[in-house]
A and B are shown apart, each in its own frame.
Chain A
Amino acid sequence: MDFYWGLVQIIGVHSLLGLSAYIVVLTGQVSLAQAGFYAIGAYAAGMLTVIREWHIVPALAVGALLAGAVACAVGFPALRVKGLMLVIATLAFGEGIRLFFFNFDYQVAKGAIRVGPLGGEGFRQIRYFPEHGWSTFQVMLFIWAFVALVMAALWWFDRSRYGAVLRAVGEDELAAQSVGVNLTAVKVSAMAVGGAIAGLAGGLYAHYTTHIEHASFNILLATFAIAYPIVGGLASVFGTVAAVIFVQGFLVEGLRFLGDWRNLLFGALIVLAMNLRPYGFLDSRALTGLGRLLRRKAADA
């Protein structure tokens, strides 16, 4: 049973990662830097609970705020770079963060052992959950409480004017400017919020996995992060989460029986999925169709 809770944990954290990319991609900025903000949140939160012995919630909060601040800083130069150049720039930034942590040492003695990040070795012994007697089930619930919170917040954003403005910017920057939208404010704020959510996800990741290293925060993870909202469709937050469940639940776990072949199928399935449904699983057409279906069911009942 623990194994399944573990899987649900992974789905939860990746949902947060996907949602962090969702809000950024809505504004038309394709960011491959989310894995970098995720890493910042992971190391920061980990260091606070391990070295400074903080409670997990403020540690996660600080991790998220730090990641959000860095994302805000990245957001400004990102404005100067358009379209595919931004993809490359954010990819390079994410790699840069990874390389930074590859070279990052900060160890403190705690009793007999030394704890803290150690360059290529990574950051071991992030044992907040086991030390405080949390069961796998409780950790899973904790993670999903945050997922529910973030989903609700983003769902509410989508319904607010901010959400419509985000999408307008994503669709046509010139038109948005011409009706008075401040592009800088919108794009940088989206980047900052996305960064904060990624940082939160990273903090949670560091604690349930207890050992993080630079190699986990690679281009593959960055790609997963934006794959979720793209594959799931940008029409709603549910699409992103559905994509996470599909990729992590079905592809990664469900195909585990295929052993080594699973990785092969991965790439092939992404190519297939993109060719079959270029606008994502739950694109606006699918959503309106779904909506009509549900309304008809309600009318029939």
Chain B
Amino acid sequence: MKRPRYLRFLSLLMFLQAAIFLGYFYLSFNQPTTLTFIQIWVTELNRGNFDLNIPRGLATVFFLTGTWLGLGVASFLIWIGLWRVWAWAWSAAIILEGVVLILSLEAYLNNVVDWRFYTAMVVAVLISFLLNQHETQILYKVIETPVEGPFGK
């Protein structure tokens, strides 16, 4: 199947988004503080302490890394769906971009924004506008191809 240019571009952006989020996950997870937190927790577990007393700070780290991982995996799966032109992929993609934009804008409004959020924002904006194009929506059967009525105009 010869895919139109806008679809190739959309898929490329979605793949890029998956790579970015998984990259963020790797960077966040691989930090010394994160690893130290995890080592402490694992040690506690080995000692038989199962009261789930998560060390301070680890919850935040888990949330952040978990978010990047979740977004990355979701982006990857949606990339496959978009590339195969599966109808559900459009809906999943628009919801995903909504989540990414809410997180980015929330970070911006709370003054905790950094280059990672800005990058995510740029990619999400581009993907959203591509998803909102007439051609894209017709391809994924979100809207029907306009047909002329019984009396023309």
Is B a genuine binding partner of A? Answer: no
Which of A's residues lie within 8 Å of B, judged by CB? none
